[in-house]
Amino acid sequence: MSSVQVGAALAKSLFAALGPGGTVFLRVGFAALALLLVWRPRLRAYGWSSYWVALLFGAVLAAMNFSFYLALSRIPLGVAVTVEFVGPLAVAVFGSRRPLDVLWVILAASGILLLAPLESFKGAGIDPVGLGLALLAGACWAGYILLMARVGRVFAGGDGLALALAFGAALLLPVGAISAGTALLNVPLLLAGAGVALLSSVIPYSLELEVLRRLPPRVFGILMSLEPGLAAFFGFALLHEQLSTRALAAILLVSAASVGAARFGRQKAQEPGA
């Protein structure tokens, strides 16, 4: 999550030269190239049923990243991630099976409400289109969590993730070309885009693939409640967004939810037959 937020701050600095479309294309394209070189998927090792999962996952990845970058071009990082978090929270809510799980969801939701500057949503400072795009990114994030778990089951290693990113990059190619134009040939910008890909896609997606092989999506969804707090922190450290007392309280709440979900989720996974 820390890697994602540093990458998001770096990506936002590229919007002036590349636009959100060009930046997201470089992110997904370089990430696909890196993982294809690392994993070298054996195309004949899987059937069409597996490839359909990878294609759908790639489309969701492309939509999630593009809508988030469009939102980020209109609203602050902390606000964008806070609104986007409705996706993982929805996964946690609908995946709940025990009364205790509801407690972690309530804590996480309370933290999000504290972190989000709700009173400023009504003012001119928060772009409503940006909020809508962040909500769309959140819906895609929920699909990402569920599909990532599926990809981890049907593909070995990182084969499925590499193929999905390659398909997502192909979908984003027209968007990137229109948004950035000849700036895509600028070497310093290409290097910066490669850095965004490493921080925002290669490292976190690879780690999350392994996490979702070990944790249920509902537990993962609650653990991701740390993301808005980290976004607020890196927004302050890298983009000079101020942290309020309410934001600090929100971070404590979502941290408590994450610790509780991890502790009790692990105990449940160790029960016989689980």
Give the 3-state secondary structure of residue 244: coil
Query: pLDDT at position 122, please?
Result: 47
pLDDT digits (tens, 9 = 90+) for 247-260: 678 777 877 877 77
The encoded tokens of residue 255 equal: 């941290």
256 lies in a domain? yes
Tell me the whole-structure pTM to 2 decimals. 0.82
Q: Residue 96, CB half-sphere, CA atoms under 13 Å: how many? A: 17
pLDDT digits (tens, 9 = 90+) for 105-154: 888 788 777 766 555 444 445 678 888 899 999 999 999 989 988 998 89
Measure the N-to-C terminal CA separation of the chain; round to a whole number of Å: 28
42 lies in a domain? yes
Query: pLDDT at position 127, please?
Result: 77
274 lies in a domain? no
Structural domain harbouring 56: 2-269
Domain count, the chain: 1
20 lies in a domain? yes
Q: Give the Cα separation of 222 and 64 in Å (integer).
A: 19
